[in-house]
């Protein structure tokens, strides 16, 4: 990403990312067109550009650095030096595709630097809340943090497993509802889509670590580090009640089942079609699997016997997403599609389990908008359902000050002369 052709056209600079939403181990690489060679030039660096003075200029979390660069040999010459603070850089956003690391700066051939001044914008803050069946929202009293919307509720209802974002990591934390405390679990990197095992001993999660996405779990008491269950990527979505099977939602729109034995998981496809299937959720008795599919041209919620094979039943009637079984086994929840004003409905369906599954008519519980509530995610579900099926756990966007508008561009004339005085230049020919 962020390509920059070097003078002479024989090589290309670009940035390599090893993470999804955080920063700190990206690399600047030079690609030689004639040979296909890839030369690693810089670590913890993004959006490098060549400067005619014999330097590379690059960004490291909003700070502009300069370093000498031997253009003929494509080698770094010297140690990077910080030159300019608070350069606007695309590091955070509600949309991961906008988090490119691109910097708002440019160096002219005459030696002038133009840039937009601005601090690093932190991730947006959220609060942990409950929502009852009438739509009443009640804060849990947890500290306001940059929570990711995926929540995992412990089987005893005491703990919420949450992911908290910073610029450098998406860490796994536990919120103790009784004591009102947040405690961090060991994994670094990026941890998402956390789901408690039915015995409450472990939390499974998708883990992006050192550029590799894998399925892992972590002891909930924090007495040991994370253990990799499988290198087959997939986001944890739902455990079977016996704790031996974990339904995984794949980002490409397929559903897999991980079978656990002796701390390892064998992953096999379960629902693989040309359409997109998301949000798999085991019923409390383990005999049914609910999920969403766009086979009809829009997302609808379906239920299928597990392990089957047997025909599936459509649960929703006018579109539906993000299904969740009530832990009582007597109900199924899902989200409606947004209406013309962007409002969604939390829907409920009465369920009578048996040899066959008897489904009632979907009923509207409450309407909500996103933001501020975050109840919808993909490919796995955001919200958690309380043990009695009477309330939901979710995150709500906290009020934030608006981002200041850009009103002018900073111009530093003869910037390369200052750069040469502070940073030895490399060969230019």
**pLDDT tens digits along 209-242:** 988 999 999 999 999 889 999 998 789 999 999 9
Q: What is the mean pLDDT of residues 313-321?
A: 96
pLDDT in tens, 287-312: 999 999 999 999 999 999 999 878 89
Same domain, 323 and 276: yes
- Between strands 331-335 and 343-352, the pairing is antiparallel
Same domain, 103 and 246: no
Task: Write the CATH number for 323.
Answer: 2.120.10.30
Q: Does residue 37 sit within a domain?
A: yes
Length of the chain: 429
Same domain, 227 and 162: yes
Residue whose tokens read 């060991």: 186
Q: Does residue 390 sit within a domain?
A: yes
Tokens linked to 374: 């975050």
SS3 254: coil
Q: Does residue 427 sit within a domain?
A: no
Same domain, 208 and 337: yes
Q: Does residue 428 sit within a domain?
A: no
H-only helix segments in 278-406: none
Nearest to 115 by CA among 56, 153, 62: 62
Tokens linked to 179: 């004591």
Same domain, 417 and 355: no
Q: Does residue 79 sit within a domain?
A: yes
Give the torsion sign (CA, 69, 70, 74, 79): negative
Q: Does residue 170 sit within a domain?
A: yes
pLDDT in tens, 233-276: 789 999 999 999 999 998 888 999 999 998 899 999 887 788 99
Nearest to 192 by CA among 210, 169, 211: 169
Q: What is the pLDDT of residue 364?
A: 97
Q: What is the mean pLDDT of residues 164-185?
A: 95
**Sorting pLDDT into bands at 50, 70 and 90, what band is 96?**
confident
Residue 284 CA to residue 254 CA, distance in Å, equals: 22
Q: What is the mean pLDDT of residues 155-162?
A: 97
pLDDT in tens, 322-377: 999 999 999 999 999 999 999 999 999 999 877 788 999 999 999 999 889 999 99
H-only helix segments in 345-410: none
Q: What is the pLDDT of residue 175?
A: 98
Same domain, 284 and 150: yes
Phi, psi at 87, each rounded to 5°: -90, 130
Q: What is the pLDDT of residue 262?
A: 86
Residue 277 CA to residue 302 CA, distance in Å, equals: 10
Q: Is the pLDDT of residue 121 over 80?
A: yes
Same domain, 105 and 187: no
What is the number of domains present in the chain?
2
Per-residue exposure over 120-140, b if at least 16 CB sit within 10 Å of its own CB, e if not:
ebebebbbbbbbeeeeebeee
**Percent helix, strand, coil in the chain (nearest 5)?**
5, 50, 50
The model's pTM:
0.91
**Sorting pLDDT into bands at 50, 70 and 90, what band is 100?**
very high
Same domain, 204 and 320: yes
Q: What's the whole-number average pLDDT of the chain?
A: 93
Where in the sequence is the domain holding 241, given as residue range(s)? 126-397
Q: Does residue 315 sit within a domain?
A: yes
Q: How would you class 364 by CB atoms within 10 Å of its CB: exposed for 0-12, middle for 13-18, buried for 19 or more?
A: exposed
**Measured at the alpha carbon of residue 36, what is the angle toward residues 32 and 42, in degrees to the nearest 5?**
55
Same domain, 199 and 93: no
**Sorting pLDDT into bands at 50, 70 and 90, what band is 429?**
low
Same domain, 96 and 217: no
Share of the chain above pLDDT 90, in %: 83
Tokens linked to 110: 């005459």
Same domain, 87 and 141: no
Residue 51 CA to residue 390 CA, distance in Å, equals: 62
Q: What is the mean pLDDT of residues 46-50?
A: 97
Same domain, 36 and 158: no
Does a cis peptide bond (omega within 30 degrees of 0) precede residue 355? no
Q: Does residue 112 sit within a domain?
A: yes
Residue 203 CA to residue 218 CA, distance in Å, equals: 5
């Amino acid at each position: 990403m962020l390509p920059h052709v070097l003078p002479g056209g024989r090589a290309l600079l670009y940035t390599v990312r090893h993470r999804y939403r955080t920063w700190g181990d990206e690399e600047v690489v030079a690609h030689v067109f004639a040979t296909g060679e890839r030369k690693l030039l810089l670590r913890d660096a993004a959006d490098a550009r060549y400067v005619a003075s014999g330097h590379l200029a690059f960004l490291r979390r909003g700070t502009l650095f300069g370093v000498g660069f031997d253009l003929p040999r494509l080698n770094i010459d010297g140690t990077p030096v910080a030159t300019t603070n608070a350069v606007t850089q695309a590091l955070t956003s509600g949309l991961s595709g906008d988090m490119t690391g691109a910097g708002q700066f440019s160096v002219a051939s005459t030696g002038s630097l133009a840039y937009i001044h601005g601090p690093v914008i932190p991730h947006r803050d959220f609060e942990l809340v409950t929502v009852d069946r009438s739509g009443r929202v009640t804060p849990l009293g947890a500290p306001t943090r940059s929570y990711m919307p995926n929540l995992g509720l412990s089987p005893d209802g005491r703990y919420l497993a949450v992911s908290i974002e910073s610029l450098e990591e998406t860490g796994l934390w536990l919120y103790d509802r009784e004591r009102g405390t947040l405690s961090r679990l060991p994994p670094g990197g990026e941890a998402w889509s956390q789901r408690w095992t039915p015995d409450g001993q472990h939390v499974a999660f998708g883990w992006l670590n050192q550029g590799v996405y894998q399925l892992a779990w972590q002891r909930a008491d924090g007495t040991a580090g994370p253990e990799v269950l499988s290198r087959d990527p997939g986001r944890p979505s739902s455990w079977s009640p016996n704790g031996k099977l974990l339904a995984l939602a794949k980002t490409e729109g397929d559903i897999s089942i991980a079978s656990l034995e002796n701390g390892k998981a064998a992953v096999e496809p379960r629902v693989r079609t040309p359409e997109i299937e998301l949000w798999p959720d085991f019923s409390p008795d383990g005999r049914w699997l609910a999920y969403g599919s766009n086979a009809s041209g829009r997302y609808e919620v379906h239920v299928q016997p597990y392990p089957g094979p047997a025909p599936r039943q459509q649960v929703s009637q006018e579109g539906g997403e993000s299904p969740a079984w009530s832990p009582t086994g007597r109900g199924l929840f899902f989200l409606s599609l947004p209406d013309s004003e962007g409002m969604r409905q939390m829907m409920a369906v009465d369920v009578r389990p048996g040899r066959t599954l008897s489904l009632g008519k979907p009923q509207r519980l409450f309407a909500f908008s996103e933001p501020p509530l975050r109840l919808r995610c993909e490919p796995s579900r955001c919200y958690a359902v309380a043990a009695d099926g009477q309330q939901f756990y979710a995150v709500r966007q906290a009020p934030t000050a608006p981002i200041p508008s850009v009103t002018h561009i900073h111009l530093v004339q003869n910037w390369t002369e200052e750069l040469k005085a502070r940073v030895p230049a490399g060969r230019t020919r």
